Amino acid sequence: MTYNPTAPKNQQVIALVDCDRTTYTMLSICNLQNRKIIEFKSAADMISNSEKLQLNIVTIVSQGDIMGPMGIPLVESLNKKKFQKTPFFLVTNNLDMNICKLALRAGITDIFKIPITIPKLETRINFMIDNWSDLNITSKGGKKKSYAVPFATRLFDILVATFCTLIFLPFFLIICILIKISSKGPAIYSSLKVGADYKIFKQYKFRITTVNNSTSPVDYESPDARMTGIGKFLKSTKIDEFPQLFNVLKGNMSIVGNSPLPLYEAEKLTTDKYILRFMAPAGITGSWQVEKRFNKGRISEESRWILDSNYAQNQSFMIDMQLFLRTFPALFKKGSIHKIE
């Protein structure tokens, strides 16, 4: 291939810095929405040509070890230039989680471990470029904007939660009695979750397992061996989530929104690419529950991230109403949502 670091004026450019032929080939196969891929021999070469040719570089991809010249040292060097607000991806053979956290804090947007799949490469790069301005929402003071539930949404939440609570209160009491009879322990338990704007709150649910396991994180992979008889029924019918109506009345959650996350999972989602999903209400129902793209109830981490972020970006009262109405048919579908890697 002939070295040609040029591009039509204003055309978006994906800059490859010291990447091997395999990485270039994979990116060439990806559908990157007519963005031009340009290879650069070094960071200095990219900076020089970018200024000389006025290239519109929207993403930088480098390859090497996280602590090597093409990793953290490179992104720190670029941050001192005009590329501070440009998404930076690193392709590497080795991925240590502790060093990975250090890399993300240093400014590396995302890390791809070899071997890379084309769908993952294509999805992440396109998503980051298309949503970069939203993922870096800052006020004039440089702090992330906080999220506030719109008035129409809050009014809808209060009306629906109040109505459902009053209608189903006798039913709730019967369930509480059955749970108490089935095993010792409280009928309702709480667990700490992270919702909109990274706010931590206690989420309420009917207890479905024996008391020693009732405070454990939800197991997405398989039914809990210590689940009670009534618990299996409550989980399969999703009735175990009804106490979340009290969360809605308290203002911790909305009827529709992104599913609140356990602390151990939310603490991993503090980098720019994940922040957008917390700029929307935590909800009882939402995209996960109604999306038809699930494969027998299974959903990948990538799909969860995209669904949550897309909802946060496009959230409106009308979209909430559509998701709310689509929830009812989804309730009658067999199976529950499982997380897969």
Instruction: Dump pLDDT digits (tens) for 51-78.
Output: 888 888 889 999 988 888 888 888 888 8
Give the list of residues 6+ apart from residue 227 with CB closer than 8 angstroms, or none: 208, 209, 235
Q: Does 223 score more than 50 pLDDT?
A: no
Last residue of a domain, one of 135, 159, 180: 135
Tell me, yes or no, whether 47 and 177 share the same domain: no
Could you tell me which of 316, 255, 263 has the C-alpha nearest to residue 289? 255
Position 295: which residue type?
N
| Alpha-helix residue ranges (DSSP H) falling in the chain | 21-29, 43-53, 72-79, 97-106, 118-135, 151-182, 229-236, 244-250, 263-266, 272-275, 287-290, 301-314, 317-331
Tell me, yes or no, whether 53 and 18 share the same domain: yes
Tell me what pLDDT residue 138 has.
46
Strand bridging mode 338-340 / 298-300: parallel
Domain count, the chain: 2
DSSP 8-state secondary structure symbol assigned to residue 209: B
pLDDT (mean) for 246-270: 81
Mapped onto helix, strand or coil, the DSSP state of residue 152 is: helix
Residue range(s) defining the domain that contains residue 259: 151-340
Tell me, yes or no, whether 161 and 62 share the same domain: no
Tell me, yes or no, whether 122 and 167 share the same domain: no
Last residue of a domain, one of 83, 107, 135: 135
Strand bridging mode 200-206 / 188-194: antiparallel
* Residue 102, in any domain of the structure: yes
User: Where does the pLDDT of residue 220 fall: very low under 50, low under 70, confident under 90, or very high at 90 and above?
Assistant: very low
* Residue 37, in any domain of the structure: yes
Last residue of a domain, one of 135, 165, 183: 135
* Residue 209, in any domain of the structure: yes
Query: How many CB atoms are closer than 10 A to CB 47?
Result: 19
* Residue 333, in any domain of the structure: yes
Question: What CATH code is carried by the domain that includes residue 119?
Answer: 3.40.50.2300
DSSP 8-state secondary structure symbol assigned to residue 334: S
Beta-bridge partner residues of 283: 254
Tell me, yes or no, whether 157 and 108 share the same domain: no
Q: Please give the Cα distance from 217 to 140 (Å, whole number).
A: 38
Query: Percent of the chain having pLDDT more than 70?
Result: 78
DSSP 8-state secondary structure symbol assigned to residue 138: B
Position 31: which residue type?
N
User: Where does the pLDDT of residue 135 fall: very low under 50, low under 70, confident under 90, or very high at 90 and above?
Assistant: low
Give the least confident one: 16-25, 150-159, 304-313: 304-313
Tell me, yes or no, whether 263 and 333 share the same domain: yes
Give the least confident one: 2-11, 188-197, 271-280, 291-300: 291-300
Tell me, yes or no, whether 47 and 80 share the same domain: yes
Tell me, yes or no, whether 115 and 174 share the same domain: no
Tell me, yes or no, whether 161 and 261 share the same domain: yes
CA 158 vs CA 126, 150, 166, 190, 250: distances in Å? 38, 12, 12, 21, 9
Tell me, yes or no, whether 193 and 51 share the same domain: no
Q: Indicate the pTM of the whole model.
A: 0.58
b vs e for 137-159, b when ≥16 Cβ sit within 10 Å of the residue's Cβ?
eeeeeeeeeebebeeebeebbee
Tell me what pLDDT residue 305 has.
76
Mapped onto helix, strand or coil, the DSSP state of residue 295 is: strand
- Which helix (H) or strand (E) is 224 found in, with range? none
* Tokens encoding 173: 């009491």
* Residue 291, in any domain of the structure: yes
* Residue 189, in any domain of the structure: yes
- 115 upstream amide cis, omega within 30 of 0: yes
* Residue 3, in any domain of the structure: no
| CA 106 centroid distance within chain | 21
Q: Please give the Cα distance from 292 to 204 (Å, whole number).
A: 27
| Alpha-helix residue ranges (DSSP H) falling in 192-286 | 229-236, 244-250, 263-266, 272-275
Q: Please give the Cα distance from 236 to 259 (Å, whole number).
A: 18
Beta-bridge partner residues of 202: 192
Tell me, yes or no, whether 68 and 203 share the same domain: no
* Tokens encoding 44: 């200095």
The region, left, alpha or beta by phi > 0 then psi within -120 to 50, assigned to residue 257 is left
Q: Please give the Cα distance from 287 to 290 (Å, whole number).
A: 5
pLDDT (mean) for 228-254: 91
* Residue 170, in any domain of the structure: yes
Position 259: which residue type?
S
Tell me, yes or no, whether 189 and 303 share the same domain: yes
